[in-house]
């Protein structure tokens, strides 16, 4: 479906305009169900995110935004509906289940009601937050704490003979972040699981409204700490689009190197942690050890274990000299041998493989329904990768090769995807370093000037999956709205599907095989 085809969905005179790779269509709220339904029947257009903006001061309205992407055309279509004199808009969850939690978030944070949505319980904000206070409205003062409320949150109930509940969390044994899991169990088998998150909510979206630009960049690094580089890269790319900023070629390729180092460290850590959760302590210890080696290399290269302070608007702050390049290449050669030896041992452990295979399975229909992203998506045969589908930084010049995927959708598939991707990351870094162009690493900077009343999208394939930043400016060219979307926000919603019909002792392993971010979800 081309831009011209999409135009046929609207009456003559419908407001439409194009900025770069994005075509915008103003859609009457009464038409949004029909329009989005037509879009979802076209397989090449994929739902990306949904959000809202409060423009009452400037334009006397709220706006609801719907973002679709087309990987073949490497373009986006954004529909927006204007809400004047109403706080309601039609829910699209009846035909697009992926919008379920986006609509709940809009309802919770903006006080706008998706009419027809079957579950409008607050999302992220807890029962001590007043029901009539909406923190992403512009007239909410984020520096003041509202009076505590005393509401209740009702967990979904499963009834039946022999059904009992097991509450777990939010505080856990270990160093993981807080989250509450409510299991409904028959015998040892999980019948239902509901995850209650929001315990690490920090008001990030509100902070983005008020912080100066440089502090906004630092904030993006802290949305999900283990994805600091990828989050800041997605933010930078959106702002660079708004400012027509040119990123030097060397900086683009260095962004590839740093992004793959971040992916490598986290995949090593996850591979080890998954083995540890099966009781295979050998693999767990060595996974943690080689992750630590990568983090130490990050620090040698940039001064930061988590690659913070490396991304800047229009470039990067840390170069890789010839001396450091040789050190990194030797390191990769050594760690590849190290990693291979560990995996050879693991693949010969019958007890390890038995715990992983056919555990925590999700089917392709469920994966499609929820729009599962990243490792979890590729483990069920979804060939999705933003590096290939919407190339950014220097990835247009990188030979990614075939995107690895599995088809069983179980813990072992997610384990094996990570192994394959670790080898790919090491190859990408080596090939990028071999052809690293000369030149500057950051554009000569003048005062930043951004387009007015504009919207841009920044997308990055983080190690968990696709990270998106929706960034909007006001009539002065000031950033007025930043909506980060970590892949965890999407994948948390289907964790209960992976847990159902498994035994409770397997849940830590299933949960680790997704390894979703609490912080990246709670914002």
Please state the three-class secondary structure of 17-68 as a single string.
Answer: EEECCEEEEECCHHHHHHHHHHHHCCCCCEEEEEEEEEEHHHHCEEEEEEEE
What's the pLDDT at 11?
Answer: 65
What is the pTM (predicted TM-score) of this model?
0.95
Q: Name the CA dihedral angle for 509, 515, 521, 523, rounded to a multiple of 10 degrees.
A: 120
What's the pLDDT at 193?
Answer: 94
Query: From CA 334, how far away is CA 432, in angstroms rounded?
Result: 18
Q: Look at the block and give the residue holding tokens 């097991």.
A: 166
Q: Determine how many CB atoms are found less than 10 A away from the CB of residue 261.
A: 23
* Tens digits of pLDDT across the chain (523 residues): 566 667 666 666 677 888 888 999 999 999 999 999 988 887 789 999 999 999 999 999 999 999 999 988 899 999 999 999 999 999 999 999 999 999 999 999 999 999 999 999 999 999 999 999 999 999 999 888 899 999 888 888 888 888 999 999 898 877 788 999 999 999 889 999 999 999 999 999 999 999 999 999 999 999 999 999 999 999 999 999 999 999 999 999 999 999 999 999 999 999 999 999 999 999 999 999 999 999 999 999 999 999 999 999 999 999 999 999 999 999 999 999 999 999 999 999 999 999 999 999 999 999 999 999 999 999 999 999 999 999 999 999 999 888 999 999 999 999 999 999 999 999 999 999 999 999 999 987 778 899 999 999 999 999 999 999 999 999 999 999 999 999 999 999 999 999 999 999 999 999 999 999 999 999 9
Residue 229 in contact with residue 310, Cβ under 8 Å?
A: yes
Query: From CA 103, how far away is CA 245, in angstroms rounded?
Result: 33
Query: From CA 519, how far away is CA 523, in angstroms rounded?
Result: 6
CATH 3.30.460.80 placement within the chain:
3-115
Residue 291 tokens read as 């992750």
CATH 1.10.645.10 placement within the chain:
204-439+447-514
What's the pLDDT at 9?
Answer: 67
How many Å separate Cα 323 from the centre of its chain? 35
What's the pLDDT at 1?
Answer: 59
Q: Which CATH superfamily is domain 204-439+447-514 in?
A: Cytochrome-c3 Hydrogenase, chain B (1.10.645.10)
Q: What CATH number does domain 3-115 carry, 3.40.1190.20, 3.60.15.10, 3.30.70.20, 3.30.460.80?
A: 3.30.460.80
């Amino acid at each position: 479906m081309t831009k011209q085809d999409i135009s046929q969905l609207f009456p003559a005179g419908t407001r439409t305009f194009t900025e770069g790779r994005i075509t915008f269509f103003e859609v009457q709220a009464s038409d949004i169900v029909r329009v989005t339904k037509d879009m979802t029947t076209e397989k090449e257009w994929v739902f990306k995110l949904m959000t809202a903006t409060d423009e009452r001061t400037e334009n006397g309205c709220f706006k609801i935004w719907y973002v679709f992407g087309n990987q073949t055309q490497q373009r986006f279509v954004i529909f927006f509906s204007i809400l004047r004199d109403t706080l309601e808009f039609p829910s699209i969850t009846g035909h697009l289940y992926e919008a379920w939690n986006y609509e709940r978030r809009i309802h919770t944070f903006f006080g706008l009601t998706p009419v027809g949505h079957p579950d409008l319980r607050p999302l992220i904000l807890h029962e001590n937050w007043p029901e009539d206070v909406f923190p992403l409205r512009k007239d909410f003062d984020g520096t003041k704490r509202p009076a505590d409320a005393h509401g209740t949150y009702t967990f979904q109930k499963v009834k039946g003979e022999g059904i009992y509940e097991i509450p777990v969390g939010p505080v856990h044994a270990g160093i993981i972040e807080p989250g509450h899991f409510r299991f409904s169990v028959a015998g040892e088998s999980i019948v239902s699981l509901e995850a209650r998150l929001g315990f690490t909510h920090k008001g990030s979206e509100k902070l983005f409204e008020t912080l100066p630009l440089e502090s906004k960049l630092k904030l993006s690094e802290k949305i999900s700490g283990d994805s600091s580089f990828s989050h800041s890269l997605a933010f930078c790319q959106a702002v660079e689009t708004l400012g027509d900023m040119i990123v030097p070629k060397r900086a683009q390729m260095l962004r590839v190197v740093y992004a793959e180092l971040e992916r490598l460290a986290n995949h090593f850590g996850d591979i080890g942690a998954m083995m540890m959760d099966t009781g295979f302590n050998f693999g767990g210890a060595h996974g943690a050890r080689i992750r630590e080696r990568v983090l130490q290399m990050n620090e040698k290269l940039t001064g930061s274990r988590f690659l913070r302070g490396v991304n800047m608007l229009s470039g990067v702050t840390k170069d890789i000299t010839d001396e450091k390049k040789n050190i990194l290449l030797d390191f990769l050669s050594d760690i590849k041998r190290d990693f291979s030896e560990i995996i050879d041992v693991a693949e010969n452990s019958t007890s390890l493989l038995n715990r992983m295979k056919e555990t925590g399975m999700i089917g392709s229909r469920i994966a499609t329904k929820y729009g599962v992203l990243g490792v979890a998506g590729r483990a069920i045969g979804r060939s999705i990768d933003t590096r290939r589908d919407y190339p950014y930084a220097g990835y247009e010049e990188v030979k990614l090769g075939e995107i690895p995927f599995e088809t069983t959708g179980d813990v072992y598939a997610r384990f094996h995807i990570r192994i394959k991707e670790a080898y790919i990351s090491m190859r990408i870094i080596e090939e990028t370093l071999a052809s690293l162009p000369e030149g500057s690493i950051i554009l000569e900077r003048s005062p930043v000037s951004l387009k007015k009343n504009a919207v841009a999208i920044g997308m990055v394939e983080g190690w968990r999956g696709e990270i998106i930043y929706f960034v909007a400016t006001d009539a002065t060219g000031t950033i007025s709205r930043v909506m980060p979307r970590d892949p965890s926000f999407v994948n948390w919603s289907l964790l209960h599907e992976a847990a159902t019909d498994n035994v409770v002792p397997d849940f830590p392993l299933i949960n680790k095989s997704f390894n979703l971010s609490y912080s990246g979800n709670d914002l």
